[in-house]
Structure 1
Amino acid sequence: MITLRDVEILEAYDPGEALVASLYLSVDPDRVTPAQYKDRALEMIHDTRLRLASEDLTPEQRACARMTLDRIARHVCGQYGTCGARGLVVFACASRGLWRTLCLPASVPDRLVLRQGAWTEPLRALLHNFGRFLAVIVGSGKSRICLFELGEIVWSAGISQEPAASGEDAGERALRHFLKTADALADVVEREHPERVLVGGTTDAAAAFLRTLPGAVRNLVVDRLAVSPQSGDADLKAAAARCIAGIEHSAEEAWVRRVRSECRQDGHAVLGLEPTLHALSRRAIQTLVVDRKLWAGGHVCADCGRLYTGVRVCPECGAGRARGVEDVVAAAVTETLRCHGDVKFVSDLPDWAGDGGIGAILRFRLPKDATR
């Protein structure tokens, strides 16, 4: 499991003059086959190798980069097994001995970045967006509460039904057990501050349990889990992953609808790559919404720092001095987070691709001619 501390350690890693390769690859079995994600990885590696020829690098840097890319290719195509993962991340530097692979329960945007230092922004965005959640599985005899972080169970507790009180029937005993479980869940919610709660168990048990929850906790419940208190960790994690994937997809659709709506209504949003890059240059982006697979080469102005595509003349200041950027979308993600904005990655939304695959909710309205 990856934590924010792990990300900070990666960011502090010093490769000296060598380049670090950061690979992000979607291996979600619901979206891509092994053949497809392997082809995509090899395509990105091939493109990166071609760009090496035009980069201003020392022979040592070039040789290290080639060895690093070769090892990544061997890993993805020969050694890696998804093991139920939806995202694969690799940080590697052959000459410095860096090799870190992460199998994640959430999909990631397909990217391969080669630079002096690990590129961790998508990982930070994933940690921020995926969050932590609780699953409570209720039964008439035993219940279980589990805390998840990035799809892994990091804490759990069982709650057993107490012996029947004198004159108490089965229904009253079950209700007392549900109330006890609800109290325990409320305590965990107060302590851990989860973003959402999933409830499992039979339909009748889950419905009866939900009626015992205080309003603040009930408002966190977002879905049901088709598991029982006796289910093993593997079944519970798989069921939770399916629920979260569905919830995340619905949330992605909602973000796209919001961008479109606000763009049409009051100008507090932009659609398309160039309008988004312009808004970014004005530090106007509150939330960047971008397709995981979107990629675009471009430039960054040497005078004002504006990211842009197309001609080499900066559309912001008119300067002609610029350096090439292998992926302005990745650079926009980095800059948005640096400016304390939020990033929402979306995928498998065909209509969004028609809008350019990128847009943003703005902190303030820009002049109309600047958002087109």
Structure 2
Amino acid sequence: MITKETVDRVIGFDGGELPVVSLYVGVCPDDGAALFTRINSLLHQIRPLAQDESIGRRARMSLRGDIDRLEHLRDLDAGRGRAGTLAVFSCSGQDLFEQVMLPRRIRDRVVVDGSAWTRPMLGVLDEYHRCCVVVTDRRSAVAWELFQDEMREIGKVEDTALRKPNYAGWYGLAEHGVRNRADDLARRHYRNTVHMITDLFRGGGHELLIIGGHPEEVPCMVEFLPRSLRERLAGTFAVDPRTATPADIRHSAEDIAERYEREEERRWVADVLERAAEGRPAAIGLDDCLWAGSVAAVQALLVQEGMTVPGVVCEESGWLAAAGDVCPLCGGPARPTPDVLGALAEAVIDEGGAVEHVVADTELKDHLVAAALRFPLPPRPERSAA
């Protein structure tokens, strides 16, 4: 599972004078030997560096160790049986070797640099919400992290509660005294639960909050949330914390997260269309969005999920288009690509923009792609023929 700790380790890693190898390779369950052929092809690009005497001996030895590790990815379980992209970050001289399985395919690539090249990884992960799911009653709470298709426990609170607050005789107290005591303990528990949630969100790793519990108790818990957490609350669900299984909790939380994501997609689409209608920087449709991606103008790209469109790419200038033989920016040849939308998404991620694949039924289906822009588009150059 992709954890915030893993991502933070990669982002914060400092190899000193030693290089870091960052490798991204697409995988699918039936890849077989083809996967390792592609890995070897990527490694072939960096093998000369391991022999380059213009860099220090320690750096060369570290690179050789990295290449040896990556050559043996076939022995590892990461990504086996799943489709997506395997991202690997290695610096053998400083004992770094992290693998992250990304949920969708991006272009194969390998980079050697002084730090891990994390932009493609972060660009993909930005498309998915990391949820904090809290299941609570009047005396206990368990927090889970839900991200992509996996869930793990990340926190727990256990407090004192009166087992039978409605039965005053059980405690030898007046009924109102027992009720008051039970309510005091419940309020203390909700405050302690809020402290736990606040600590979990303080690290910045979670985007959404989902709360489950008995229907009559969940609203009480929500009342104790500060404004900052209420703004993150994606929804609540009814469940018996004592009998619910992790699978039950995950199913309910996933339903809420999916509804939230679809609604967020609708808001994104509405915002971009409104920007375009008001004359603010925006691009609607394939041609304008490809040109926007070519000049690094895209701040946020919206792509209709499941759509692929053939087109062309210039590796030298980054020009993207639906058709053409020669790049109008540099005069170099343009290569065909079976999915120019995928190439556009990668270009946006590489330039620090956000990408959202839209599943919800919106007006985007009529345009396939739309974008909020950083600046108005410059005039488009004339295409030239081969």
| TM-score between the two structures when normalised by the length of structure 2 | 0.64
Q: 1:91 touches 1:101 (CA, 8 Å); kept in 2?
A: yes
Which of 22, 28, 35 matches 2:26? 22
| RMSD of Structure 2 on Structure 1 (CA) | 4.0
Residue 195 of structure 1: how far off its partner (Å): 1.3
Q: Is the deviation greater in 330-339 or in 139-148?
A: 139-148
Which of 327, 331, 341 matches 1:319? 331
State the match for 2:353 in structure 1.
Answer: 341
Give the 3-state SS of the residue equivalent to 2:312 in structure 1. strand
Q: How does 1:183-222 map to 2 (within 5 A)?
A: 183-191=195-203, 193-222=205-234
Q: Which amino acid in structure 1 is aligned with residue 311 of structure 2?
A: G
If you compute each CA radius of gyration, which structure gives the higher value, 1 or 2?
2
Residue 112 of structure 1: how far off its partner (Å): 8.2
Q: Which amino acid in structure 1 is aligned with residue 156 of structure 2?
A: A
Which of 61, 84, 92 matches 1:89? 84
Which of 220, 227, 248 matches 1:235? 248
Deviations 1:206-243 (CA, angstroms, capped at 9, x unpaired): 11111122222222212012323222222112221111
Is residue 192 of structure 2 the alignment partner of residue 180 of structure 1? Answer: yes
Mapped to 1, the partners of 2:205 and 2:151 lie a distance apart of 17
Residue 2 of structure 1: how far off its partner (Å): 3.0
Mapped to 1, the partners of 2:28 and 2:258 lie a distance apart of 18
Mapped to 2, the partners of 1:123 and 1:302 lie a distance apart of 21
State the match for 1:132 in structure 2.
Answer: 130
Residue 182 of structure 1: how far off its partner (Å): 2.5
Mapped to 2, the partners of 1:101 and 1:177 lie a distance apart of 37
Distance 1:302 1:149, change over 3 A: closer
| TM-score between the two structures when normalised by the length of structure 1 | 0.66
State the match for 1:70 in structure 2.
Answer: none
Which of 270, 279, 292 matches 2:283? 270
State the match for 2:292 in structure 1.
Answer: 279
Which of 319, 322, 325 matches 1:306? 319
Gaps in structure 2 of 5+ consecutive residues:
12-19, 35-40, 42-79, 88-98, 112-117, 166-170, 382-386
Deviations 1:281-328 (CA, angstroms, capped at 9, x unpaired): 2211101111232222222236633111223244x4483632223322
Gaps in structure 1 of 5+ consecutive residues:
15-19, 26-40, 43-47, 49-56, 58-78, 81-86, 93-99
Q: 2:283 touches 2:372 (CA, 8 Å); kept in 1?
A: yes
Give the 3-state SS of the residue equivalent to 1:295 in structure 2. coil
Q: Which amino acid in structure 1 is aligned with residue 2 of structure 2?
A: I
